[in-house]
Amino acid sequence: MVSNAGSYWKTIGLLIMLYSFSCYILFVTVLSKETNDLRLTPPNDAYELNAQQKMSSSDEYLIDLLLLDNVTKNDGRLVLKIFKKDDIWFVTPLKIVLFHAILAVFYPIMALSIVAICSYFIIANYQQRVLRKTLRHLCDVTDEIASIFGQEKLPLQSYSRLSNLSFALDNLAKYATQYKMVTEQGAFCDKLTQLTNRHTFLEHIEEQLSLNEGAKESGLLFIDLDGFKQVNDSFGHSFGDEILIQVAERLKSIVRSGRLSFNQSNVGIEKNLARLGGDEFTIFIQHIEHSESAIDIAKHVLTELERDFVLGNKLIKISASIGIALYPDSADKPNALVQLADVAMYRAKKDGRGIYRIYSPEMGSQLKRYHYLLEEMRLAITSNNFYLTFQPIVHTEGCVISYFEALARWQHPVEGMISPMEFIPIAEESNQILPLGDWILDESCRQMFAWHSAGMTKTKISVNVSVIQLRHRPLYQWVMDTLARTGLPPTSLMLEITESCFLDISEEIIVELEKLRQAGIFIAIDDFGTGFSSLAILATLPVDVIKIDRMFINEATTSVKYKKILKSIVDMSFQLDLKVVAEGIEDIIQFELLKSLGVEHIQGFLISPPESSINIGNKVLKQGVGHLAHNGAGVWKPKTSSIMSHAN
């Protein structure tokens, strides 16, 4: 602005100088012409120069300025020498000459002045217009910028564009400051919950630990919600988002009430609490006296998150699993602390959810094994390292084979046999159970079709289906497609679903199961007695078979109470028209007890361990094709002859 004003006045000065110089040249030219004219036609009033006097210095300056010669001083006034006669100069007063010259230049100078003034106004007007245009453009630009900031077009404050512009610029400065705050917050915060993000959280711990330099213990909680995926799957992602926001609010108030706050940033975010992603949150506890303090906070978090979440007219119950890592015992770097707390959280999940666990080194090796087996499993699925074994379930009368349960086996090239108790949970957690489960169902149906064709028309094959498969596969279509592909009739198939899966099964899955039952497929509740479901749900679930868990039967042989419960389960099942199978029968006492309670189908090592398909084929088909064709089922003769005698 200053430099613009300076150049403006410079231009004005230059123009004035140019104007003055032009006037001067004009005047001098006219004066010179006037003196020449006087010499050519001398005026009548010219008089003799009587005595030349010396001129003052100011007179000399004036003469020089007017570019005149032949000027002298006579009787105290300046005179112009016009002509010489007889050595006598005739002169006329310079004042008169100058007066004539002034009269002669008056009109040209007036004209020049008018031109100059007009030019000035024209230029000024032009400049005004340019300025107005520029202002209009600037106002448009400010409106545009305001709209980028999401603001309405600014209302005009006055008729002057300049003051509107200044008002708009003030507003823009305000928006820019707000925007800076928001973007800074965006850089530090998780968008959904407005909690610190992972990066800022780790930086913050790094800073605090370096200030602390191992002087005091600290703790880190890794909090993961239980069953959040189901909430998302059942109610949709925006519902899930709302839950996450409410969880964040509860954690914030725990951090504040527990004086765990660290809030020094200028954007006002809580740095000791972060959302690491998904349903994972973390709290950093600076300076704890001993691990008990971290445990107290973990317990507080667990109780707070177990309180109902209210969303619209819905009440949602969720819990959390918490892993605790301690500084410097567990680790002394932020990343490692988070990682180890995650390992401990993973253990809390495995140990039953809704609980906390403190990290210990032995957990780390388990996690390593988990990742190792997961990687190996991916390879094993593609390189056919899995195979199926089949365990017969027989009728207590005559040991007629009712069905075979297909049980997956993993023959690892280095580790040898890996138990399903170890690999199935890993496959479920990583969703690898989906490709593996596809193969198991396919292979089971293929095998059963072969046996069915060989005469085992009344024997079924039973396949374990995990809850992950129920949720991710279009159940009815998936099973019917496999049956169509393998040629096995639906009535030869049974699906085993663990009791605990039924606890939070969705309405859609129940409908799918019912459709399968209508098609002739049997549905069994596996491991019944371990999932804490009430007996009443048996009446509402779409099932045909109850498989009572091995643990339950074990208890029943020693405890009268368990025996009574077992009896009531069996009685109730019969009343509901359900078939009862007892799992894990290992000895004759168990066998007798179950038989006395009226259980008709048993599975267990007492009859046979799971066998390869070849062994099954050999054993059953040995009984003769004619026998099979007549009965539609083989007999599984156990090694213990006493059973056969009991059975018969």
Q: Which residues bind Mg ion (CB under 5 A)?
A: 464, 496, 526-527, 583
- Of 188-196, 355-363, 579-587, 593-601, the window that binds ligand C2E (rule: CB under 6 A) is 579-587
Minimum CB separation of residue 329 from ligand C2E in Å reads: 36
Count of residues interacting with ligand C2E (CB under 6 A): 23
Q: Considering only the stretches 204-212, 292-300, 356-364, 604-612, report the one whose residues sit in contact with ligand C2E under the rule CB under 6 A.
A: 604-612
Report how far apart, in Å, the C-alpha atoms of 585 and of each of 72, 328, 551, 595 are: 151, 50, 10, 11
Q: How far is the CB of 505 from Mg ion (least distance, A)?
A: 17
Q: Is residue 638 close enough to count as binding ligand C2E by CB under 6 A?
A: no
Residue 604 near which of ligand C2E, Mg ion, none (CB within 5-8 Å, type-dependent): ligand C2E
- Sequence-distant (6+) residues with CB within 8 A of 225 are 243, 247, 279, 305, 318, 319, 320
Residues 513-532 that bind ligand C2E (CB under 6 A): 526-527
**From ligand C2E, Mg ion, none, interface partner of 408 (C-beta below 5 to 8 A by class):** ligand C2E
Residue 474 tokens, joined: 């279009």
> In whole angstroms, what is the distance from residue 94 CA to residue 77 CA?
8
Which one of ligand C2E, Mg ion, none interacts with residue 424, CB within 5 to 8 A by kind? ligand C2E
| Closer residue to ligand C2E (CB): 108 or 420 | 420
Residue 490 interacting partner from ligand C2E, Mg ion, none (CB closer than 5 to 8 Å by kind): none
- Residue 259 Cβ vs ligand C2E, minimum distance, rounded to whole Å: 47
Q: The tokens of 383 are what?
A: 């390189």
Distance CA 255, CA 543 (A): 47
Residue 438 touches ligand C2E, criterion: CB under 6 A:
no
Closest separation in Å from C-beta 403 to ligand C2E: 13
Stretch that binds ligand C2E, among 249-257, 452-460, 511-519, 584-592 (CB under 6 A): 584-592
Report the C-alpha gap between 613 and 622 in whole angstroms.
14
Q: Are 79 and 53 in contact (CB under 8 A)?
A: no
Q: Which helix (H) or strand (E) holds 84?
A: strand 77-85
Helix-helix angle 433-453:420-429, to 10 degrees: 120
DSSP state for residue 268 in the 8-state scheme: -
CB of 415 to ligand C2E, least distance (A): 15
Q: Is the distance from CB of 493 to CB of 436 less than 8 angstroms?
A: no
Q: Which is nearer to ligand C2E, 281 or 528 (CB)?
A: 528
Q: Which residue's entry shows tokens 């507080």?
A: 300
Residue labelled with tokens 């894990």:
584
442 scored as a contact of ligand C2E (CB under 6 A): no
Does the footprint of ligand C2E cover residue 464 (CB under 6 A)? Answer: yes
DSSP 585-633: --SHHHHHHHHHHT--EE-STTT---B-HHHHHHHHHTT-HHHHHHHSS
Pairing mode of beta strands 280-288, 273-277: antiparallel
Smallest separation, CB 616 to Mg ion (Å): 17
Assess 470 for contact with ligand C2E (CB under 6 A).
no
Considering only residues 480, 605, 619, 640, which one is a binding residue for ligand C2E as defined by CB under 6 A?
605
* Interface characters, 122-141, with ligand C2E (x: CB under 6 A): --------------------
Task: Decide: residue 86, CB within 10 A, 0-12 exposed, 13-18 middle, 19+ buried.
Answer: exposed
- Is 574 a binding residue for ligand C2E by CB under 6 A? The answer is no
> Is 425 an interacting residue with respect to ligand C2E (CB under 6 A)?
no
Q: Which of 287, 317, 282 is nearest to 301 (CA)?
A: 282
d(CA 504, CA 467): 10
Residue 439 contacts ligand C2E per CB under 6 A: no
Member of 258, 364, 420, 617 binding ligand C2E (CB under 6 A): 420
User: 3-class SS at 462?
Assistant: strand
Min dist. Cβ of residue 610 to ligand C2E (A): 5
**Least Å from the CB of residue 388 to ligand C2E:** 7
Instruction: Pick one of ligand C2E, Mg ion, none as the site partner of residue 440 (Cβ within 5 to 8 A by kind).
Output: ligand C2E
* Angle separating helix axes 361-382 and 420-429, nearest 10 degrees: 80
Binder of ligand C2E out of 232, 246, 466, 482 (CB under 6 A): 466
Nearer to ligand C2E, 244 or 495 (CB): 495
Q: Should residue 584 be labelled a site residue for ligand C2E when binding is judged by CB under 6 A?
A: yes
Residue 505: CB atoms within 10 Å? 18
Whole-angstrom distance, CA of residue 593 vs CA of residue 43: 162
Q: Residues 196, 197, 573, 603: which binds ligand C2E (CB under 6 A)?
A: 603
Site for ligand C2E in 380-419 (CB under 6 A): 391, 406-408, 419
**Any idea what DSSP says for residue 155?**
P
Does 545 participate in binding ligand C2E (rule CB under 6 A)? no
Cβ at position 321, least distance to ligand C2E in Å: 22
Is 483 an interacting residue with respect to ligand C2E (CB under 6 A)? no
Q: How many CB atoms lie within 10 A of CB 450?
A: 15
Rounded to a whole number of angstroms, the minimum distance from the CB of residue 558 to ligand C2E is 16
Given the complex with ligand C2E, which of 331 and 406 has the nearer CB atom?
A: 406
Q: With contact defined as beta carbons under 8 Å apart, do 566 and 572 qualify?
A: no
Burial group, residue 244, by CB count within 10 angstroms (0-12, 13-18, 19+)? buried
Amino acid found at 231: V
Contact 384, 588 (CB under 8 A): no
639/624 Cα distance (integer angstroms): 19
Q: Is 462 in the site for ligand C2E (CB under 6 A)?
A: no
Does 593 bind ligand C2E (CB under 6 A)? Our answer is no
Q: Which is nearer to ligand C2E, 323 or 610 (CB)?
A: 610
Q: How far is the CB of 532 from ligand C2E (least distance, A)?
A: 17
Give me the residues paired with residue 314 across strands.
311
SS3 at position 213: coil
Residues 35, 98: Cα–Cα separation, whole Å: 9
> Whose Cβ is closer to ligand C2E: residue 284's or residue 386's?
386
Whole-number Å distance between alpha carbons of 142 and 330: 56
Which residue number, 585 or 620, has a Cβ lying nearer to ligand C2E?
Answer: 585
Q: How far is the CB of 441 from ligand C2E (least distance, A)?
A: 9
Query: Which residues lie near ligand C2E (CB under 6 A)?
Result: 391, 406-408, 419-421, 424, 440, 464, 466, 496, 526-527, 550, 583-586, 603-605, 610
